Structure 1
Amino acid sequence: MKGARKRNLIYADPLPITFSPIENRFAVTVLGIFGISPFRVLNPRCEGTFDPATRSVWITNRRDSVILWKCGFFGKGNLSRSEPSWLARQSRIGTATGRLTSEEVTAKRRAERKQFKLDRARAIAAAAAEAEAAFAEGRIIPAEETRPSIPSAATWKPSEFTRNIAVPSSERCQEAGDLGAELSDDMEHLQLTLAEAFFLAWALDCLTIYHPKRPEPMTLDEIWTAFQTAHLPLHLGSSLSQTHVLRPDNPFLINYVFLHHYRSLGWVVKSGVKFCVDYLLYKRGPVFHHAEFAMVLIPVYEDPDDAESSPFTISNVEPFTWQWLSTINRVNSQVQKTLVLCYVTIPALSRLSVAELSSPSCFERYVIREIIIRRFVPARMRD
């Protein structure tokens, strides 16, 4: 309960924009007469740099990274699995706390796996040599005698050296302490997807994005064009005009429509590539509980002719097979996630004007529909 209460305090704000009550009672009374909320908006004003090569926005400031992660779980640490905690993990490497970092755990597991393969290979080679000797002597070795000599993944135990490979010695503790003193700068940055960055910059107005080659911040029109241009194939980036770049089937627009829809409904949207899907939906965030829904984003063209003229390679546009659907459904049912097929209808290019495609006003033309897929298990669903 104590840990849960601490998480509730640390990750209490669902978005970077927070509201603070006005302490002046007279001002509260006057605002209440005119029907104005007695709260003032607190905007963190974070900053990031657009990186076209990785199609992301980098948050290098430690303060901004902490705010965007703790208030909505935006982005991902480029040196971490999720939360940007590289510096904290590096400071624990080599310390005698008894708690291993993820890097040390990985090194230990790899050493144990390598040792298991070597021990098993030696046991198989010894059993084969003994079988050849018994065959030459005309003896018969019972299977019960050879089976225990070959270790399996369930019966094999790591040696003392392998078990302690990630436990630091006194010399390694001293070296890690010296290294920690040198690592005063955080080498990790928070990496936002283009959809997350545009949501923070346009919908919440709490993120300022800078161009990588210019010191001044990018305008909303520049961000709108740059994020869509980043999804163009490299051989077409310089040959297409702005009219051809701004299309309703741009992958940036499709992914942003999905993220904005569910973020506005209170869900935390994270990548689902680990479970063979496009996105995962969390009720509160990854530090509280596992994701409940696994989302597959399926774009659907309102006008099929737009698909033939599209310069983009969009996934899940082609009809899927039942084998593909059964595979994804089985993977997510094993981890207790509900598979949802999210169909995003792309408006026809013929009924969109250039002015609509040049601004976020085109988002109201998209339509989202969801279909839940459940795996039928006869033994569990009789009741």
Structure 2
Amino acid sequence: MILRLSLEEGFFLIYAMNCIEIYDGSQKLSIEQCWNLFSNADPNFIKCYIIYHHFRSKGWIVKSGEKFAGNYILYKNGPQFFHATYIVIIDTENSASSDKKQWKQILPIIRVAETCKKEVIIARIITHGITSFEGVKTPMNLSSVSVHETLVQRWFISDK
């Protein structure tokens, strides 16, 4: 059987759940080999995995948020049971863009979320003892980062 997973989903099932194995030809890959392979395949893998792992560990079903202009969307029990509750935008504490530029990118996502009856979470990766989240060279370094969630809502005040 062929199962198609995102890199984050696959790594979570290897590392956190220990329920699948990944092979390169006939050779089974270790957790570290998978981490290196996935990190080299996608330059955003580490930051995406940190956020993916954070929300999966909290019990959310995490899926791609591209359809809603975000990084991820979060489901309570899965897409077959409910609509997604949140759109997640990944942010890093050493983000090079200015606050004004970031808000110009976030405001349209908030409007999309409101139209789709979802809320927006900005998930910021905070590093501890390393210079950036890219300092997470192995999955064993995941304890060097944490995630801060900010719920963003658009308020409309009527004069009625």
- Bin the TM-score by the shorter chain: 0.7 to 0.9
SS in 2 for 1:208: coil
Q: Distance in 2 between matches of 1:347 and 1:259?
A: 19
Partner of 1:333: 114
Q: Is the 8 A contact 1:298 1:317 kept in 2?
A: no
Partner of 1:322: 103
Gaps of 5+ in 1: 1-60, 62-188, 233-250, 302-315
Q: Is the 8 A contact 2:129 2:144 kept in 1?
A: no
> CA 1:190/1:318 → structure 2, altered by over 3 Å: closer, same or farther?
farther
Partner of 2:42: 231
SS in 1 for 2:63: strand
Q: Size of the alignment, in residue pairs? A: 157
Instruction: Give how far 1:326 is off.
Output: 2.0
Q: Distance in 1 between matches of 2:127 and 2:19?
A: 28
Q: 1:199 aligns with which of 7, 12, 17?
A: 12
Q: 1:367 aligns with which of 142, 146, 152?
A: 146
Instruction: Give how far 1:194 is off.
Output: 1.1
Q: Is the 8 A contact 2:123 2:147 kept in 1?
A: yes
Q: Is the 8 A contact 2:32 2:139 kept in 1?
A: no
SS in 2 for 1:364: helix
SS in 1 for 2:4: strand
**What residue identity is the alignment partner of 1:288?**
F
1:273 to 2:79 alignment = no
**CA-to-partner distance for each residue in 1:110-149, whole Å, 9 max, x for gaps?**
xxxxxxxxxxxxxxxxxxxxxxxxxxxxxxxxxxxxxxxx
Gaps of 5+ in 2: none
Q: Distance in 2 between matches of 1:200 and 1:342?
A: 22
**How well do the aligned residues superpose, as a CA RMSD in angstroms?**
2.5
**CA-to-partner distance for each residue in 1:316-374, whole Å, 9 max, x for gaps?**
7523343332211111101110111111124564599x9x73x3221011121111111
Q: Distance in 1 between matches of 2:35 and 2:102?
A: 35
Q: Distance in 1 between matches of 2:16 and 2:4?
A: 19
Q: 1:287 aligns with which of 80, 84, 106?
A: 80
TM-score normalised by L of structure 1: 0.38
Q: Distance in 2 between matches of 1:266 and 1:335?
A: 22
**What residue identity is the alignment partner of 2:38?**
F
Q: Which runs of structure 2 are paired with 1:1-383 in the superposition (5 Å)?
A: 61=1, 189-211=2-24, 214-231=25-42, 251-301=44-94, 317-319=96-98, 320-347=101-128, 349=130, 357=137, 359-379=138-158
SS in 2 for 1:190: coil
Q: Is the 8 A contact 2:84 2:118 kept in 1?
A: yes
Q: Distance in 2 between matches of 1:329 and 1:351?
A: 27
Which is bigger in relative contact order (C-alpha 8 A, separation at least 6)?
A: 2
Instruction: Give how far 1:268 is off.
Output: 0.4
**CA-to-partner distance for each residue in 1:22-72, whole Å, 9 max, x for gaps?**
xxxxxxxxxxxxxxxxxxxxxxxxxxxxxxxxxxxxxxx1xxxxxxxxxxx
Q: Distance in 1 between matches of 2:81 and 2:97?
A: 36
Q: Distance in 2 between matches of 1:336 and 1:350?
A: 37
Q: Is the 8 A contact 2:130 2:144 kept in 1?
A: no
Instruction: Give how far 1:252 is off.
Output: 1.6
SS in 1 for 2:82: coil
**What residue identity is the alignment partner of 1:206?**
C
Q: Is the 8 A contact 1:272 1:278 kept in 2?
A: yes
> CA 1:368/1:201 → structure 2, altered by over 3 Å: closer, same or farther?
same
Instruction: Give how far 1:231 is off.
Output: 2.5
| Rg larger in structure | 1
